[in-house]
Amino acid sequence: MKKLWVIDFDNGGSATKSSYYPDNDNIKCWEPWVYMKGERTAYNYPGTHDRTMKIMQFALEEHENLWGVLITGIDLWDSVATNCMRIQDLGLSKDGIEAADNRGAGSNERIQNQWDWAIRVTRFHQLTAVCRALVKRGVRVFWETHMKDVYKNGKVSTSDGQPAWEKSSAGYMYQIVHCRREDVIEEGDVVSSAFTATFEKSKTDATLQGQRRTILTTRQNEKPNFMGLPELERL
């Protein structure tokens, strides 16, 4: 049986596997993060970029044994590309803490030229290129990302968010599915929730374009009802 590999930036893959598929040896979760040995910062961003690309190149070699590859937290990969640009490519920061300071305080400098941001885009899409190569070889590739926070009247709006990734990514997607939670509130308490999936883009099956499905419902003191998204099998 072919395998599903998870490149697990946000630990969602390993948490799901341990909770629901603990005995399924056909699901393998890869740790993409490389950690620093010092005390100042946790992540080695250039090392993480290199490790991720090595894992994906290994996936290319193993494509005949793979059913699919899931990459969780693509927005975190975007942050890896941004930090690599500042730390390694432009030499504006020495580590992730300095890279996060966009005020340009101390020796940490602001990015002066718009063209420099193309370095980040190029680093980000190195992953895109390998994913497209896997798709050409018959491997299903899934990206999972969080949504950008959109503020309305001083509060975060949960209805108008856009995927948090490099903005040109949508052009490479055959399908884009937005998942949301809608709560029913009575007397200030959440009594039930419905989790929905909307096909914002469906390039290979036009009948799904704009369609919304309920994939999970929960209600207080009752068992959850999971319907899943069987339409994905058609894509």
> pLDDT tens for residues 145-187?
998 877 777 666 655 568 888 888 989 999 999 999 999 888 8
**Statement to judge: residues 183 and 134 lie in one domain:** no
Share of the chain above pLDDT 70, in %: 80
- Last residue of one domain, picked from the residues 156, 184, 205: 156
Residue 169 is assigned to a structural domain of this protein: no
Two tokens, residue 124: 């980000």
- Last residue of one domain, picked from the residues 123, 156, 189: 156
**Statement to judge: residues 8 and 61 lie in one domain:** yes
> pLDDT tens for residues 25-66?
999 999 999 998 766 667 888 999 999 999 999 999 999 999
Residue 235 is assigned to a structural domain of this protein: no
- Last residue of one domain, picked from the residues 156, 188, 203: 156
> pLDDT tens for residues 186-229?
888 888 999 999 999 999 999 999 999 999 999 988 999 999 99
Residue 130 is assigned to a structural domain of this protein: yes
**Statement to judge: residues 151 and 44 lie in one domain:** yes
Residue 163 is assigned to a structural domain of this protein: no
End-to-end distance of the chain based on CA atoms, in angstroms? Answer: 20
**Statement to judge: residues 135 and 179 lie in one domain:** no
Q: What is the pLDDT of residue 37?
A: 79
Q: What is the pLDDT of residue 201?
A: 94
**Statement to judge: residues 132 and 84 lie in one domain:** yes
**Statement to judge: residues 44 and 103 lie in one domain:** yes
Residue 211 is assigned to a structural domain of this protein: yes
Residue 69 is assigned to a structural domain of this protein: yes
Share of the chain above pLDDT 90, in %: 58
Residue 226 is assigned to a structural domain of this protein: yes
CA distance 4 to 23: 14
CA distance 8 to 10: 6
Number of domains in the chain: 2
Residue 199 belongs to domain spanning: 174-230
Q: What is the pLDDT of residue 9?
A: 97
**Statement to judge: residues 72 and 108 lie in one domain:** yes
pTM for the full predicted model: 0.83
Short-list 125, 128, 97, 98, CA closest to 110: 98
Residue 149 is assigned to a structural domain of this protein: yes
**Statement to judge: residues 134 and 226 lie in one domain:** no
**Statement to judge: residues 126 and 58 lie in one domain:** yes
**Statement to judge: residues 27 and 143 lie in one domain:** yes
**Statement to judge: residues 216 and 150 lie in one domain:** no
Q: What is the DSSP letter of 54?
A: H
**Statement to judge: residues 121 and 52 lie in one domain:** yes
Q: What is the DSSP letter of 94?
A: S
Nearest 5 degrees, angle CA 143-CA 149-CA 153? 155
